[in-house]
A and B are shown apart, each in its own frame.
Chain A
Amino acid sequence: MMVEVPVRIAQPQRNALHLALRSPSFVAGLVITLLIAAMALISFVWTPYDITHLVVANRMQGLSAAHPFGTDHFGRDILSMIMIGARNSIAVAIVAVVIGMGVGVPLGCWAAARGGFIDEALMRINDVVFAFPALLSALMITAIFGPGAVNAIIAIGIFNIPVFARVARAGALSIWPREYILAARAAGKGKARITAEHIVPNIASMLLVQGTIQFALGILAEAGLSYLGLGAQPPMVSWGRMLFDAQTRMAMAPHLALFPGLAIVLTVLGLNLLGDGLRDALDPRLRRRQ
């Protein structure tokens, strides 16, 4: 009898990380993201200065060995504020992504599984939510419920829902006609069960990539809302709030705006690089066949 040689096809899960680590953009993104996350974590136990301690005598200092990023108009250390601000930005963005995924993915999967009128109706509602610019809907929500970090999270989370619903629906629709789904149906499994067992694991990588992008957008949105005074309220520190405070003093002390701005740019850049790298590693069409 002839021996059949198994065809080697790169396996999705096991090789993905391996492949991703060979992509420069993924590695750069990962390093930046880990740095920011580490900074946020360290701020829980240590910051160079106590930022609730105002030393007006030291206000608006430039860069120095004692204050590498200078101080603000209350004499607070900017580096310490950026470290603590990272934690707020990350928390807001994570919770917003969780809200978006938690509501959007089930909605998208439901629409894909049911099809017909329900699909149509859900997607049109989605379009309506999508049609409002994120910042505008966030403005609306904070205008109604009042400014604050929690309302900002809710506003950004709602904006995430249609994004995840769309990605999940598109992914699920491409999985449903596969033969292994037919086989599962022939095994008497219902739509909910098939969705949980076969659809979700197979679209998880797409959702993960979208998650990193929404995370970056969430950080931007939080900064935007705080900048408008609708997000984090003093004494809570956030990068957007720092930009807002720096605005009127731009001419005198540009470093007040420079460092929070840089922190935002760097985080968003890092997350986008991470997302791109993940996408390249997980998408078999972009992966070079062996």
Chain B
Amino acid sequence: MSLLDIEGLRLAIDGTPILNGIDLTVGAGEVVGLVGESGSGKSMTALSVMRLLPPGAVATGRIGFDGVDILSAPEAAMERLHGDDIGMVFQEPMTALNPVKTIGEQVAEGIRRHTGANRRDAEDRARRMLARVGLPEERFPLTRYPHQLSGGQRQRVVIAIACALNPRLLIADEPTSALDVVVQAQILDLLRGLVAENRMGLLLISHDLGVVAEMADRITVLRQGAVVETGETAKILTELRQPYTRQLAEASLHVPARPPAAARTEETAPLLDVEGVSKDYPVRRTSLFSRPAPFRAVDDVSFSMAHGRSVALVGRSGCGKSTLARMILALEPATAGRIRLAGQEVTGRPDAELRAARRDMQVVFQDPYGSFDPRQTVERLVAEPLHLLEKQPGKAERREMVVQALAEVGLSATDMDKYPHEFSGGQRQRLSIARALITRPKLIVADEPVSALDVSIRAQILDLFADLNARLGCAYLFITHDLTVARAITDDVMVMDEGKIVERGATAKVLAQPASAAARALVAAAPDLKGAIAARRGGRLP
């Protein structure tokens, strides 16, 4: 008998159907991947198992956990199950921990409540558990607070809390989506080890087929609250019987068609010239008498970019790549060095003198939800950079330009009077690109432009970037930790580590034969769908 057995689970919230008959099983020691795009019902399935549904939700069907029917179990029984037999790991490690309690207290808390252990015994177990997840006491005392840890370390604490009582089932909802690829590989490794040690069942929810292919024995594909198909990972991902699964797999591996780079470069003078740029941030004083050395986020970076090129700046989170991008965009002053864009000085000039430079460079941000003022219409939002033009266009001309920019990114003129919330994530990212394009810039800086999007939408946006590059000839600086994006859409790549550029070269070459340690770590850690499937079929992975 399976450990977790979901049969015909239906869920409606305030009368809107969310899940339409989900069947899913997880056995002891088994890893089951639950795959699907945003809104497919992955998280709601997990929350139904935990019975942590939002108010107004009505669930029917059967969720059996080791013979207990979860949907009809009394509250007290559920409290005993939570943490003891079923553990859960959430996506966002930054908010999953209580900031005012030490990590030792937070791990010990569940142990004490469920086993009635005294403080000392519970602390002992917490210590062992934290050591198991890679936070040994010598380096990470139990008295640390969450804010003293990095994102990956916090996620380890979350896993330690979830696994402290050796649960028989662990539900991990996008456990690595907020982490960079290197940390992601470490966390996945840890989860794999815990499953093997305790014969724990793992329900791994992810939108990333690469991650699931590497981890899961079986996968279940969800779409619009229903199961599309379910079965052995290797079988599902090689046979691709269902069109939807095929679409997902193709979108994951999608590479936009692009003309060769050489054909697109005509001008010889560099577009962007970065010379010895550094950025220091002051560090909080710990003593009244000595000022601590500032933190150097970007350390003596120099590079130049030709017109029309597409360049990736890759690196782990916190390596300084976003800081560098903001300095290029003149949103943050540089501590040292100079930046020139098409011959104009960008560094050390007041805002008023930057208008010409700003016209030539625009920005696309990561979060399609946060990058628009929710209280303005699309027309005003997309037209915002027109403020930079020497001669302000009239109302009709302005509308005409917005229509054209929207058409450029595949949106229609009727979208002009809508508000941002009326668009989906992918459409908002198109709006973001339209806003960046409207002044016909020579350079677009895109900070993780697709990492918040579903795979199929990501493929469409990458296509759009490639198309605009070919048609309008604007250069891109892509900032990303995702090598598949770099591989898909850039000519050159620069690898950044601890504020320095440690490697640069043609994208294909650097990713195939990384020379520096930082680049090797990134390449090795990147989830690889093809490789994982091949390994599964060859039986090389356990």
Q: Are B457 and A4 in contact (CB under 8 A)?
A: yes
Query: Which of B54, B358, B367, B456 is within 8 Å of A2, CB to CB?
Result: B456
**A-B contacts, CB under 8 A, total:** 95
Q: Could you say which of B363, B366, B427 has the most chain A C-beta atoms within 10 Å of its C-beta? A: B363
Are the C-beta atoms of A9 and B421 separated by less than 8 Å? yes
Find out whether the CB atom of B435 lies under 8 angstroms from the CB atom of A183.
yes
Q: Pick the residue among A1, A13, A180, A182 that contacts B460 (CB under 8 A).
A: A1
CB-CB under 8 A for A183 and B371, given A188-B358, A289-B54: yes
Q: Report which of A7, A178, A185, A201 forms a contact with B331, defined as CB distance below 8 A.
A: A185
Q: How many residues of A contact B (CB 8 A)?
A: 29
Contacting residues, chain A, for B362 (C-beta < 8 A) = 186
Contacting residues, chain A, for B39 (C-beta < 8 A): 5, 7
The answer to whether B421 touches A188 (Cβ under 8 A) is no
Q: Are A7 and B358 in contact (CB under 8 A)?
A: no
Chain B residue at minimum C-beta to C-beta distance from A181: B373
Residue from A2, A182, A290 whose CB has the most chain B CB atoms within 10 Å: A2
Which residue of B has the minimal Cβ distance to A199? B373
In whole angstroms, what is the CA distance A288 to B251 when docked?
34
Query: Given B14, B247, B387, B424, which contacts A5 in the complex, CB threshold below 8 Å?
Result: B424
A115 located at the interface, meaning its Cβ lies under 8 Å from any Cβ of chain B in the complex: no
Contact with B along A178-213 (1 / 0, CB 8 A): 111011111111100000011001100000000000
CB-nearest residue of chain B relative to A290?
B14
Known: A4-B454, A183-B435. A188 touches B426 (CB 8 A): no
Q: When the two chains form their complex, are residues A4 and B424 in contact, meaning their CB atoms are under 8 A apart?
A: yes
A6 interface hit (Cβ, 8 Å): yes
Q: Does B464 count as interface, using CB distance less than 8 angstroms?
A: no
CA distance A13 to B373 in the complex (A): 13
Quick check: A13 and B425 within 8 Å, CB to CB? no
Is residue B370 within 8 Å, beta carbon to beta carbon, of the partner chain? Answer: yes
Is A146 on the interface with B (CB-CB < 8 A)? no
| B385 in contact with A202 (CB, 8 Å) | no
Task: With CB as the reference atom, state the residue of chain A lying closest to B385.
Answer: A187
Q: A186-B363, A190-B351 are in contact. Are A7 and B424 (CB under 8 A)?
A: yes
Least CB distance, A13 to chain B, in whole angstroms = 7
Whether A11 is near chain B, meaning CB under 8 Å from some CB there, is yes
A13–B420 Cα distance when bound, in Å, is: 13
User: Is B354's beta carbon under 8 Å from chain A?
Assistant: yes
CB of B140 within 8 Å of the partner chain:
no
Q: How far is the CA of A202 from the CA of B420 in the complex (A)?
A: 14
Distance of A109 from chain B, by nearest CB (Å): 16
A179 & B371 in contact (Cβ 8 Å cutoff)? yes
Q: How far is the CA of A198 from the CA of B387 in the complex (A)?
A: 15
CB < 8 Å neighbour of B351 from A4, A13, A188? A188
B56 near A: Cβ within 8 Å? yes
What are the residues of chain A within 8 A of B460 when measuring CB–CB? 1
Is A12 positioned at the interface, with any CB of B under 8 Å from its CB?
A: yes
Q: Among residues 157 to 196 in chain A, which have CB atoms less than 8 Å away from a CB atom of chain B?
A: 178-180, 182-190
Within 8 A of A (CB), among B294-309: none
- Which A residue's beta carbon lies closest to that of B445? A186
**Nearest A residue to B362 by beta-carbon distance?**
A186
What's the least CB distance linking A183 to chain B, in Å? 6
Residues of A within 8 A of B381 (CB): 180
Determine the chain A residues whose CB is within 8 A of the CB of B351 once the complex forms: 188, 190
**Chain A residues closer than 8 Å to B373, beta-carbon distance:** 180, 184, 197-198, 201-202
Query: Could you say which residues of chain B place their CB within 8 Å of the CB of A188?
Result: 351, 354-355, 358, 385, 387-388
Question: Min CB distance, B232 to chain A, in Å?
Answer: 25
In the docked arrangement, what's the CA distance between A184 and B351, Å? Answer: 13
* Complex interface: chain A residues within 8 A of B14 (CB): 290
Q: Which B residue sits closest to A184, measured CB to CB?
A: B384
Asked if A2 and B365 sit within 8 Å, CB to CB, the answer is no
Q: CB distance A186 to B331 under 8 Å?
A: yes
Chain A residue nearest to B354 (CB atoms) is: A188
Max chain B CB contacts within 10 Å: which of A4, A6, A7, A289?
A: A4
Cα–Cα distance between A28 and B449 once the two chains are bound (Å): 47
| Contact pick for B370, options A12, A13, A178, CB 8 Å | A178
Per-position 1/0 for B411-455, Cβ under 8 A of A: 000000001011111110000000100000000000000000010
- Interfacial residues of chain B within 1-60, with CB under 8 A of chain A in the complex: 13-14, 16, 37-39, 54-56
A186 with B370: in contact, given A201-B375, A202-B375 (CB under 8 Å)? Answer: no
Complex Cα gap A290–B326 (Å): 36
With a CB–CB cut-off of 8 A, which chain A residues contact B419? 11
A11 touches B421 (CB 8 A): yes
Chain A residues with Cβ below 8 Å from B456 are: 1-2, 4
From B54, B372, B387, B454, residue with most partner A Cβ within 10 Å:
B387
Is there an interface contact between B371 and A12, defined as CB atoms closer than 8 Å?
no
Quick one: CB contact mask for B328-342 with A, threshold 8 Å, 1 for yes? 010100000000000
Which of A6, A180, A202, A290 lies in contact with B371, CB distance below 8 A? Answer: A180
A186-B331, A186-B362, A198-B373 given; A288·B385 CB < 8 A = no
Shortest Cβ-Cβ A-B pairs, 5 listed: A179-B371, A187-B385, A6-B424, A179-B365, A2-B456
**B-side interface residues toward A, CB under 8 Å?**
13-14, 16, 37-39, 54-56, 247, 251, 326, 329, 331, 351, 354-355, 358, 361-363, 365-367, 370-376, 381, 384-385, 387-388, 419, 421-427, 435, 454, 456-457, 460
- Identify 13 residue pairs between A and B in the complex whose beta-carbon atoms are under 8 Å apart, listed by A's number: A2-B247, A4-B424, A4-B425, A5-B39, A7-B424, A179-B366, A183-B435, A185-B331, A186-B385, A188-B355, A198-B376, A202-B375, A290-B16
